[in-house]
Each structure stands twice: as C-alpha cells, then as structure tokens.
Structure 1
C-alpha cells in the first residue's frame, strides 16, 4: 500500500497540508510528519471497521453529535444502499445522505424520578452529580441506538476554553458527560447489543475544512474570532438549506425538513424574532444545529476525498484544487 502512495514524497509541503485538510487529519508539522500521517491514514479511511468489512455494499446510518448539556444537538444522516453494480464498483462513489433527524435537546433538565426534597415555591435546580449524568447518558444512547446507527460521531471536547489557564466547571461537566456516553456505547458494543463504531471529531478540523484557513480555524483565546466562526458556520448551513437537494449534497426528510424550515426562518428573522412563524418549529440556538450537520457532512466528504486520493493518485491533487 505504501508503494501506491509513493508519489506523496514528491509533493510540496503546501500540497501535503491541503491533502491532510481534505481528509480531516492534522495539517500541521514538517513535510516528513505530514507524509507519515497521510501514509498511515489514507489506506485505512473512516468507514473501515472489522465489523463492517462489506460497508460499501450496505446503507449507512450516521449519527453526528455536537456535545453539550443544555444545548446538545445531533442529526442522523442516512445513506441509501448503492443500487447498481457500476456504482458499487466505483470506489469514490458515496451517495448523498438523507437527513432524517436534526434536533437540539437539553440534557441537564432535572429528572422526574429525582428523590431530592424540594421546598415549596423553590426554583428547580439542575442536577450535576455523576449518578444523574449516567442516567442521562444511558437514556440518550439507548434512544439513538433504536435506529441502529452504523457510525456515531462525537464532537471532541477540550478542557480549556478561550485560552484561559483555568479549567471551567461547566467544561468539566461536559467532559464528564462525553466520557459517560463513550462508556455506555462501549458497554453496548462489547455485549454485542450494538455493532457500530464511534469516532471523535475535532471541531477545529471541521471549521477549517468548511471555512478555510483564514476564516475557519477557531483559535483559543480569541473570543471575537470564535463568534465570527460561529456566524460563518451558521451561514454555511443557511446557504445549503436555500439550495436544492442536489446542489447542497443532502436531502431533508420528515422532522429534519421541519427543522430546516425553522432554521431558515430564524436565520432570516435574526434577533428581531420574538415569536416563531406559523408552521415553523422552535429550534433555539442555530450554532449547535449547524455544528452537528457540518460535522456529519465533513466526515462524509473526508471519506469521499480519501477514496478519490487512493483511486486517482497524484491526479487527485488537481481535482481537490491543491
């Protein structure tokens, strides 16, 4: 396999970085480091998994999660089964997905089964103890697994926000919840109750892929840039939703279509929106919804690009615009 990628040694550093960005891996480092990373990643890919060796012949069911507690968002990207032998033989072909679920949920709501006594007329407080969060994690995972996802993408969390030296308590809570989701998924996988795979996704790589080098990378310690990045990502999804299914590369069905209409309405109305338009759904924050969709679509596009590179070799550089 290494001989098939021997042409990488002739690439410029800028080309190697562009290839790394195109397949969603770390694009920083020296030329030898970049070459080594590409040699390790390209033959393997995203859809490779010992339990899904025939994945090219099967439909995909991808759940993309944007982590949070008050604002967790996820979307389900369903990939239809390839219909013709010619399409099956095409290594670079991945059919456009259908988005069947796209929503935000509030994880930190107090559970109805809580036995903590409350004083009359006292505001309900959020529970942040591990026992409560483990129940939340279990409830979320069992709900997601009902539709038998083949892949679950989870936004990778960091311990420091905005470049600060301190680790914020809220960040620790989200990290704890993230770890619990992984643990529950691992338990289902090891017990044979679920046969899919879990993949962490770095949000900075998603932003860089869709927004480019100058605008996209959210740098810690730059709050204004972070807000600009959020706005830019919201705008990307807004442009997608205004296009037809073929132009944007995915379709919307059922609940996701209603969410898309609500997203468009709120994006147009902006901060002036006091009440929702008749026929639209309440969707809350747009950035969380944008993030989970951008993450899922990036992951699929990274795999398309990986297959293109493996199939076309050095000719892929031109097709990728490097």
Structure 2
C-alpha cells in the first residue's frame, strides 16, 4: 500500500486545474462540487482515494486474530507475504430506491479485477457486473414482527405489489411465506388494525419493525458489501408545499439508516452504507440538464431545463437501452461504459422481470409469463438499477483518476453516451 505522502503527491495536480475542470471531475466521480475552489480540491483529494473498486490488488495489514473484524463472505485471502496479505473483495451491491408502496431494490455482484490467484481465478476478458436480483415490493405488506429474517423468496411472496398466484415451482415458496405470515397473525395484524382504526395507518412504531425485518432479510439473502439508499427530498418539482407521502418516505429512509448503523455498531454485519442523491445520478448522465435529443439546441449550446417527468422518462429509457445492450451480442463497446453492460443471474424471476420491463418500455402488450403480475410502474425499478450502476461507475472513475490523473477523463464512455 502506498504511503499517505505518496498518494498526496500523486494528486497535487488538482490545484492546477480550473474550477470547471474540478467540477467535471466531481460530477464523473459522484463527489459533491459545492463550495469554493480550495474546499473542492480538499474534498476531491480525500474522496478520490476512497474507491470501492481498486484497479489493482490491495495489500492490507493482516488483522490480529483476537481483534479480527467480522468478514464478509465475498472477501477472499490471497498469498501471504510476511505479516501482510493480499485481500481482494468482490463487491455485492444492494441498491434501494425508497418508497412505501413501491420500494425497489437491485442486487449487483461485481468481481474486482486483480492478479490471477489459484484460489480465485479471474477471466481474461472484461469483467461484467452480474444483475442478481431486481424487485419491487410494498413495505406495508412486510410482516411487522418475525422471529427470524425472511428469505428473499418469502419476503417477495408477501410484499410484491399486486401479487398473483403463480403456477410454477415458486408456489411452494409463496405458500411457506403465507403460512409464516399466518403464524404471526396475532403479533402483526392486530396491532396494525388498531393503528388503522385510530386513523394512523403510518405509525413510526410499526414501520420501525418493518424496517428491521426488511434490512435483516435483505442482508441475510444477499450478503451485501455495500448498501446504497436513495436520498430523499422534501419538495417535489420545486414546489413550496411538502407532501405528506414525502415525509413518510423520508421517515422510513431514516429508519433504514438507523437499523444499519445499529447493526454496524454491534458488529453484527460488516458493510458500507452510502446515501445517493438522485440529482447526482441524473447529472452524471446529463439527463437533467439539456435536451440532447435536439441537435439544434445542442449546436447552439442552449440549455433547456428538463421537468421531473422528463428526467424520469430519461432514466427509464437509459435503463431500457442498457438492458437491451446487455442482452445483445457484438454491441459496440463505446455505447456504454465497460462497467455498465451487465451479465444476468440465473433466477427465472429475474429473467421474467427483465423481459417484462423491456416489453412495457417498448410498448408491447404481451401478457406476462407464468401468471406473474404485470409491471405498471417502471420508474422505481429503473431508479434502483441506474443508481447501482452509476455508483459503480463513480468508483471506477475514482481509481482511474488516481492512477492516470486528468487523462482518465478522456476515456469516460459516459461522455460518449451523453454527446450522441
């Protein structure tokens, strides 16, 4: 591992850049760009060194056996060199788009590149993130109290919006989930019925229990190394009024962070939690800035601010093209960044979800397979997947900037997409 002084020396070139260049680096690496120049340089100098996606194997001190922290199952030991060990940790990214009736999440598995070790050989070709899960659920349908975390299949069978019976192998999982829910009828439904009769369907006490069940179930099922939670806003579309549903989602967001912080402090799980601002995701892809579909506007450099509806549609379209690209062969590599083209997990539900998204995005009215519920909303699924992909893009670009300096910005294929 390089000493702190050598790292500092490698980033001294930041002070020679103009403010516009510094802000562009911040945008491409997911770092806040507000503030005066000196403060931005200091922030970049610190944040750029904290990439979760190293381009080279990391050499870390071997922790003392008595004080060794809890290890994530994705962490792999390499060959020992004295009292130092090469540690390579594959990323398991759980990206959550906040909501009460429409909370969406995606799970990405990302092999970290490094030297080929016998214990973990990496393929010689480009390493693609694996889309392992992509779901939407209603938080209000999550059991209030459970003696143990639910499996992902049980959680989704209970909390999927507009759930329908499926005549497939998943029927048994759904039946087990329903049986589990009925077993906790006295603990769950009675308290919620009382709250509903009192006119308080959103009760912080009840939703705190749901937050705990949700987080424990997701961690148990997917074992994430990083959890990304969409940062909520208080106002929509620049309006002066604060909507009640916005407050509720914001309260639930805080509950998720509180549960995760408690688990971290109690050393129950070793993972990193990041709050991601949707505005920064849209800014990375330039979805919210200029009407790039109109070449006349782009040529005259006029900037037409997009409405929230335009931004939402832009994200849905971007994810639709991303999935289409990932499913096709021989697609030009410059269409998306190398990290964006995805591989897909083997779960049947995931394939159905991807196909249903693409069918609705393309305007097809093909009935969903296996009796699964149709997708009536695409924005929640699009937001959580794009959030995870963009955060990974930021981490890769941070490593490139540290390694190659300002020259790394010229190979940002996100810029290629935005300029077409």
- TM-score normalised by the chain length of structure 1: 0.83
Do the aligned partners of residues 80 and 106 (structure 1) sit closer, same or farther apart at CA in structure 2, a change above 3 Å counting? same
Q: Name which of structure 1's ranges 291-300 and 49-58 shifts more when overlaid on structure 2.
A: 49-58
Partner in structure 2 of residue 289 of structure 1:
381
Would the alpha carbon gap of residues 94 and 9 (structure 1) be closer, same or farther in structure 2, given more than 3 Å must change?
farther
- Give 1:315 deviation, angstroms: 2.3
| Partner Cα separation in structure 2 for residue 229 and residue 95 of structure 1 | 30
2:27 alignment counterpart: 21
How far does residue 34 in structure 1 lie from its aligned partner after superposition? 2.6
What do residues 145-172 of structure 1 show as CA deviations (whole Å, max 9, x unaligned)? Answer: 1121111000011222222333222111
Structural RMSD (CA): 3.5
For the 8 Å contact 2:33–2:40, the answer to whether it is kept is yes
2:201 aligned partner: 127
**Equivalent position of 2:43 in the other structure:** 37
97-106 or 180-189: bigger deviation:
180-189
Query: Residue 90 of structure 2 corresponds to which residue in structure 1?
Result: 59
SS at match of 2:189: coil
1:100, 1:252 within 8 Å by CA — same for their partners in 2? yes
Q: Does 1:191 align with 2:266?
A: yes
The one of the two structures with greater contact order (alpha-carbon pairs below 8 A, sep at least 6) is 1
Q: Please state how far the C-alpha of 1:229 moved relative to its aligned partner.
A: 0.4
Indicate which of 394, 398, 407 corresponds to 1:302: 394
Mapped to 2, the partners of 1:37 and 1:223 lie a distance apart of 28
Question: Which stretch of the first structure deviates more once superposed, 173-182 or 205-214?
Answer: 205-214
User: Where does the alignment leave 5 or more consecutive residues of structure 1 unmatched?
Assistant: 217-221
Cα distance in 2 for partners of 1:317, 1:66 equals 29
Q: How does 1:1-322 map to 2 (within 5 A)?
A: 1-46=7-52, 57-80=88-111, 82=113, 84-85=115-116, 95-109=127-141, 113-115=188-190, 127-146=201-220, 147-212=222-287, 214-215=289-290, 225-244=307-326, 248-253=340-345, 254=347, 255-269=349-363, 273=365, 276-278=367-369, 281=372, 282-320=374-412
Specify the SS of the correspondent of 2:92: strand
Q: More displaced, 195-204 or 31-40?
A: 31-40
Instruction: Identify if the C-alpha distance between structure 1 residues 244 and 110 changes in structure 2 by more than 3 Å, giving closer, same or farther.
Output: closer
Three-state SS of the structure 1 residue aligned to 2:395 is helix
Instruction: Give the Cα–Cα distance (whole angstroms) in 2 for the partners of residues 84 and 280 of structure 1.
Output: 46
Q: Which runs of 5+ in 2 are unaligned?
A: 1-6, 55-59, 64-68, 77-86, 144-184, 292-303, 334-339, 416-420
Residues of 2 paired with 1:259 and 1:126: CA distance?
Answer: 34
SS of structure 1 residue aligned to 2:275: strand
Q: CA deviation at 1:197?
A: 1.3
Larger radius of gyration: 2
Kept in 1, the 8 Å contact 2:325–2:341? The answer is no
State the TM-score, normalizing by the size of structure 2. Answer: 0.65
Residue 61 of structure 1 aligns to a residue whose secondary structure is: strand
**Partners in 1 of 2:31 and 2:126 — Cα distance?**
20
Question: 1:219 is matched with which residue?
Answer: none
Distance 2:356 2:343 in 1: 16
